[in-house]
A and B are shown apart, each in its own frame.
Chain A
């Protein structure tokens, strides 16, 4: 069955430190992969997406993610975290073409940033 796993429920990093949020997926076909961010009380904002081509994807707010097919992973990275990055982050995989067109989400990783 299709699934997305975010193994880290909660992560705390110091401001200025690097960040990596893990995402693993189980999917039968070539996946379309997404990272979304949800700030407190806010909706979902798309950080970046991968459809094909270069496996290193650049997104907004200085984030990037790397698709590794051999590891079924799509980890999100940022070289230097800012206090405003504190939020919940969701990885998702989308089965385009299927009737439901649904996104399968991970359970999220809550990021706290220490001053």
Chain B
């Protein structure tokens, strides 16, 4: 079954404590992306990756890092989380122009 797996599903952390949200896909897709969802703002793209070792900023990259060392994984790194990064995060992958996007189940992050 085609899947995008995110971990953890829920995370509560304190300001400044580095964390990583993992994302893994089993579809061998080259393209992966991270979004954050906030009430009244919809989903906004944080970072994307066209392929291994190729990443670039989306619309709201401040405070985030990513890496793409292998095709299946695309972790999102918050080196010094702040309360304004409290949000629901989604990882997504896309395969081919007409295949569409597949989203993970989401990670709800709370930074206190």
Contacts and interface: CB of A to CB of B under 8 A. Distances in A.
A101 B101 CA distance: 10
A43 B98 CA distance: 21
B38 to A, nearest CB: 10
Given A99-B56, A101-B33, A107 B103 contact: no
A36 B103 CA distance: 10
B50 to A, nearest CB: 7
A36 B102 CA distance: 11
A96 interface: yes
Contacts, number: 55
Interface in A82-97: 90, 92, 94, 96-97
B33 A102 contact: yes
Q: Which of B42, B50, B59, B97 has the most CB of A within 10 A?
A: B42
A106 interface: yes
Contacts of B92: 103
Given A43-B103, A46-B102, A90-B42, 20 more contacts: A4-B42, A34-B100, A42-B105, A42-B106, A43-B90, A43-B106, A46-B100, A46-B101, A51-B97, A90-B43, A92-B43, A100-B45, A101-B94, A102-B33, A102-B45, A102-B48, A103-B43, A105-B44, A107-B41, A108-B42
Interface of A: 4, 34, 36, 42-44, 46, 49, 51, 90, 92, 94, 96-97, 99-103, 105-108
Interface of B: 31, 33, 35, 40-45, 48, 50, 56, 58-59, 90, 92, 94, 97-98, 100-106
